Amino acid sequence: MIELKNITKIYEVNKNNKVIALSEINLKIQEGELVVLKGSSGSGKSTILSLIAALSKPTSGEVIVDEKQISKLPDNFASLYRRDNIGFIFQKYNLIPTLSVEDNILLPLVPSNPDTADLSSKLHVVMKKFQIEHKKDAIVKNLSGGEQQRVAIARANVNNPKIIIADEPTANLDEKLSLHFIEILRELKALGKTIVVATHDPLFFNLDFVDREIQVHNGKLIL
């Protein structure tokens, strides 16, 4: 379902300073599969996630999702692709701190101008599922790290995406909350979602519901 073909990604910091984030990598992820990308900081894990989510374009190579080349999509189509297919849980959550929980969760739905009733029902479902209903009107910046993460997860799921991407999801959480997140992942996997997690947290290693663990090192996959 997700295929990365000969992907190279080079970040140009300036004319004289180039960083090779990924070098000629190939990867296939099947529908419903849960893949954990392991590796130290700067190994290229986040770049892989970013390419799958069409947040950036590869320097060379192809990213194919559901037989569609998404690496060459024009910007607006890439946005539509993300809106319809991707739920991204960022390391720093990337919530809008001055908005309420409800408003943050609904953000991905706003551009498609849904009916208010539809909006309310989707909001209700995800808030209940990720146990954040009691904080509906709270301003995000006033929430704890764990609560913020649940808001981020709810937002990533409000569109009912096929692919969930999580970048270092437990980096800012204590062990208890990290284990709680892992349980949430298990539930999402049970729902048939394709999940790609980038992490260096040992809690994710050797989990029974993880299909594959892939080591990323210096921009290459160690299979």
Partner 1 sequence: MKNKINMHLIEYAINSILRQKSKNFFIVFVFTVLTTILSSVFFVTNSIKYELDATVDALPQIIVQEMKAGRYNDIDVDKVDGILGITGVEDAVARVWGYYYFEHMGVNFSIVGLYEYEKQYKESFTKIIDSTKLTENSILIGAGVADVMKKSFYKDYFNFIKSDGTLKKMDIAGVFTHDTLLESNDVIVMSKTDAREIFDLEDEKAIDIVVTVANPEEIATIASKIELMYPNTRVITSEDIRVSYQNLFNYKSGMFLALFIISIFTFFIIVYDRASGLSSEQKREIGILKAIGWKVDDVLKEKFYEAFIISFFSYIVGVSIAFFYVYFLQAPIIRDIFVGYSELKVALELPFIFDLQTLFLVFFLSVPIYIAATIIPSWRVATLEADEVIR
Distance CA 33, CA 90 (A): 20
CB atoms within 10 A of CB 200: 17
**Contact positions toward partner 1, by CB under 8 A?**
50, 53, 55-57, 75-76, 79-80, 82-84, 86, 88, 90, 94-96, 98-99, 103, 106-111, 113-114, 119, 155, 159
Nearer to partner 1, 168 or 182 (CB): 168
Nearer to partner 1, 75 or 208 (CB): 75
Cβ 101 to partner 1 shortest distance, Å: 13
The answer to whether 9 touches 159, Cβ cutoff 8 Å, is no
Nearer to partner 1, 155 or 182 (CB): 155
Q: DSSP secondary structure string, 28-89? A: EE-TT-EEEEE--TTSSHHHHHHHHTTSS--SEEEEEETTEE-TT--HHHHHHHHHHHEEEE
Cβ 37 to partner 1 shortest distance, Å: 16
Tokens 């992820």 label which residue? Answer: 29
Cβ 61 to partner 1 shortest distance, Å: 16
Nearer to partner 1, 158 or 210 (CB): 158
